[in-house]
Structure 1
Amino acid sequence: MKKLGLLFACILMMITILGGCSNSDEQSEYEISYVNMDGTTTYKVGYDTDTTDVDELVDEMLGLLSEDPGQIEYKNAIPSSVTLNYYSRSDDELTIDFDEGYLEMDTVTEVLCRAAIVQTMVQIDGVSYVAITVNDAPITDEDGNVYGFMNEEDFIENPGEQINMYQQSTITLYYANEDGDGLVAETDTVYETSDMSMEKVVIEQLMKQPETKGLRSVIPSGTNLLGVSVMDGICVVNFDNGFLNQDYSIAESVVIYSIVNSLTELSSISKVQISVDGETDIIYRTAYSLSELYERNLDCVQELESSPQTEGEGYSSNN
């Protein structure tokens, strides 16, 4: 009997542990949007509650978004440096007001914070739109345009599981010229599946050697792509530290803008940030801070006098 009791206790413990690890096997009533530890995308975790009052739910979820979840895979979306002043509701519109700490976030952190708040709050029955203000002033983009009321459709991230169907696309990639002092555009036909983001296709294709003779990939051989995410027009590309293995025969500006220009050819991307192992507090060589957001720059783009192109088979996301 003691052995049976011990066996039952062990089984019960395993069930408890396995149940605690899962956040996706069972459908939860809500999903709280946290931020992954690399700070590159939101991380949704299932959440159930007995609370039904709308205002109490807003309080509860704002608390979850602000508190450290104590996990190694994700962190709170609202940084501890940001303080909630108040929130108010009018019909199905929720306005959340923060102190000036909100304006001190870097661009990527702010976009992820804003996305997490909106994605979480619009799940509440009675909240369809969310606006964020700072000391009663509406937040704006870098051009001074007011964001206003937002819903989940304002934040499109990479889709989840979808039917794997191939589709053909044409992309423009920028490779280093033979001397490494300029960029040359190459147009490629790629084949990707519906569950793979185009930005990932672009980077993985850019990591290969180009088909055009006399051109070179700027990304060091052996570099691994850890992740690519896009939100609010900002693409964050995360490489491992192989990216820092320098090929000094290629100018640093050529390396940076090979990646930036190739990604900004996609209509969904206007700015790019590069990180290494999730870190952006890095100066690439001498002049390029990875904490900066880089925009399209065609100053170093050149024409190739002769560009014989080999017949390629394109790209498949199954490769």
Structure 2
Amino acid sequence: MRRIKFSILLLVCVCVVAGSATGCSTGARILSFLKNEDSAEVTMTEASRGIYQMNLAETKLSKTSYEFTASDPNDLIGQCIEGLAQQPSDKAYKSVIAGDVKVVDYTYDGVNHVAVIYFDPSYKKMTASREILTRAAIVKTLTQFSDEIQYVSFVIGEESLTASDGSLLLMRGRDFVDNISGNMEYVREDYVTMYFVSEDGTKLQAEDVIVKYLSKINLETAVVNSLISGPITKGLRPSLSADITVNKVSVKEGICYVDLDDKFFERINGQSFSLNVYSIVNTLTHIPGITRVQFLIDGEIFEGSVENMRIDGLFERDMSMVYVPEKNNGDAKDPALNNDIEKELIKNKNSSKASEEVTTETVKKETETGE
């Protein structure tokens, strides 16, 4: 473990985040396509490299530009923590590493690109709202260096921070929004295996993520929108156009109905249309309870074809299209914790239950009646 040595650094300039923003495609996977109460898409602009700070009311974060000089991941983690502990020049904000939040150590797992941050047990004294913003600020600050730091894990006292099911919580910047209102019970989280396009553009490749989303939105909708927002892992390519509009995603009797606009037909970098289709199909059929996928275009079954491929039928998972890279083994700095990290990164929701056969005519009838 590396012991932290705080030094006094001076912020060179300040860039305030646009006022009413709550999420953006590069920062939040709660959703990565987040909607406000009026169902309008919310966007945000922010500094390219910086430190996240909390407003005095403890309801939102702001990102201010910060000068990072380190290139080594361990040194980057140290600089991030030092910056997060500094008092902001904007008096309307405060640092997130202060008071009950005391960072005592950190380690870096270079094999899995995970920063592990160790906190004093006093961390548990925070209110729920302040804790979620503190966690978001730290994780978003660290994971902006996504080539080196893709996940963050917290250890509080002697206990690792875990998800609701007791599994090790590996966090990314995309897992958080930048402001909160109301009860935090309205936020859900699930482990999901998503499929994006491999580096050579010919296959699909898995990316294991934690998706956090508002309770008024179902997991399937969150997952499809996250696919549209694209991958975070270095070397993976997006499978879908970022301009796709998701009309509705629902599940009935094991079949997931995915209603998109015609931007779904657009291919990224000339890739095969089958990658568009099976990035969605393979991702959704890894969710327990979903065995097949039915595509709709603006509420109707599309009876034409794209690249001689029809999408009016039901699709099942096709793993023959998936590329599995060789595992990169390396030495673990903390073997016990690293084993937990490995388990969560390869966690694959592969269970599903059988569903009754639904014909195309039945699907047409349901779409016509609005069921």
Structure 1-normalised TM-score? 0.43
Bigger share in strand: 1
- TM-score between the two structures when normalised by the length of structure 2: 0.37
Larger Rg: 1
